[in-house]
Amino acid sequence: MKKSVRTSLAAAGLALLAAMGLWFVPGVKFSACLCAGIAGGFALWAMLIRWADKSRNGRVCKGIFLAIISIGFVGFCSIETLLVSRGTADNINLKADVVIVLGAGVNGFTPSLALSTRIDAAAEYLTAHPGIPAVLSGGQGPGEDVTEARAMFTALTERGIDPNRLILEQTSTSTAENFRYSRELLEENGVDTANADVAVVTNDFHAFRAHLIAQRAGLDVFVVPAKLPWAWLSVNYYAREAFALVKTVLFD
């Protein structure tokens, strides 16, 4: 067996072991699936190497596969650069006319880790800019005993944010609906959304896509990014977000 084939199969085995280990780590199922896909890619590459040694068709398929992987890798790295550049922006001191806080999962009545970090960032921004109204946007999904908006409202008021500043949007089930329904509520409350500067609070990995979707909704926004507490968890979500962004651009 050629050394390149052995190396590819060894890499496939390591990636598969990583996938199996990550599958049992909370919050990183996507990384487990990604590692499984990488394992499959290395295994296929080993097969193509052996086929290429035997036939011209094998060499052609090997070249096509290498080109696809190379283009995909460059594209992935380019997207990640965009995501990180938007997610690391420090906009806490920028003044907005209104704030929209995007919801995330709720476990029963308890905000998930992602939502907790958004609540932290929202509390910091609203405290730094008193008087600015905020829309708390998020409906109720499976396993949630309250809407995401209500969970945010409870947490923010417990931190001393004036409840009169908070507007609840409790029917949205996607980021696009977050912005569409929030805009409608703001207009009902006398905000000229076409000319308002809007601060959007969401997680850092979600900042670029949220900005894109907000623009589609006709809002002029900047993002106040909320950061997850652990780097390994951020890596998982940044990787997943690259594929989510492609889906949003191509299909939504």
* In-domain check, residue 239: no
pTM of the model: 0.91
Domain count, the chain: 2
Instruction: Choose one of 63, 87, 111: the last residue of a domain.
Output: 87
Whether 77 and 147 map to the same domain: the answer is no
pLDDT digits (tens, 9 = 90+) for 198-239: 999 999 999 999 999 999 999 999 999 999 999 999 999 999
User: Which 8-state DSSP code applies to residue 112?
Assistant: P
134: part of which helix (H) or strand (E)? Answer: strand 134-137
pLDDT digits (tens, 9 = 90+) for 156-203: 999 999 999 999 999 999 999 999 999 999 999 999 999 999 999 999
pLDDT confidence bin for 127, thresholds 50/70/90 = very high
CB 114 within 8 A of CB 210: no
Six-digit token string for 73: 């890798």
* In-domain check, residue 236: no
At residue 13, the pLDDT reads 97
Whether 169 and 107 map to the same domain: the answer is yes
Using CA atoms, how far apart are residues 101 and 199, in angstroms rounded to an integer?
A: 8
* In-domain check, residue 238: no
Whether 68 and 103 map to the same domain: the answer is no
- On the question of pLDDT at 1 being above 80, the answer is no
At residue 105, the pLDDT reads 94
At residue 57, the pLDDT reads 94
Is the C-alpha dihedral spanning 194, 195, 200, 206 positive or negative? Answer: positive
CA 207 centroid distance within chain: 7
Whether 19 and 107 map to the same domain: the answer is no
Whether 127 and 222 map to the same domain: the answer is yes
Whether 182 and 223 map to the same domain: the answer is yes
Q: Which domain holds residue 23?
A: 3-87
Using CA atoms, how far apart are residues 224 and 10, in angstroms rounded to an integer?
A: 43
Whether 161 and 205 map to the same domain: the answer is yes
Whether 28 and 54 map to the same domain: the answer is yes
Whether 156 and 198 map to the same domain: the answer is yes
Task: List the one residue out of 226, 191, 184 whose CA is nearest residue 96.
Answer: 191
- On the question of pLDDT at 2 being above 90, the answer is no
pLDDT digits (tens, 9 = 90+) for 20-64: 999 999 889 999 999 999 999 999 999 999 999 999 999 999 999
- On the question of pLDDT at 74 being above 90, the answer is yes
Whether 106 and 183 map to the same domain: the answer is yes
Whether 189 and 113 map to the same domain: the answer is yes
Whether 113 and 225 map to the same domain: the answer is yes
- On the question of pLDDT at 252 being above 90, the answer is no
CATH number of residue 186's parent domain: 3.40.50.620
* In-domain check, residue 33: yes
pLDDT confidence bin for 155, thresholds 50/70/90 = very high
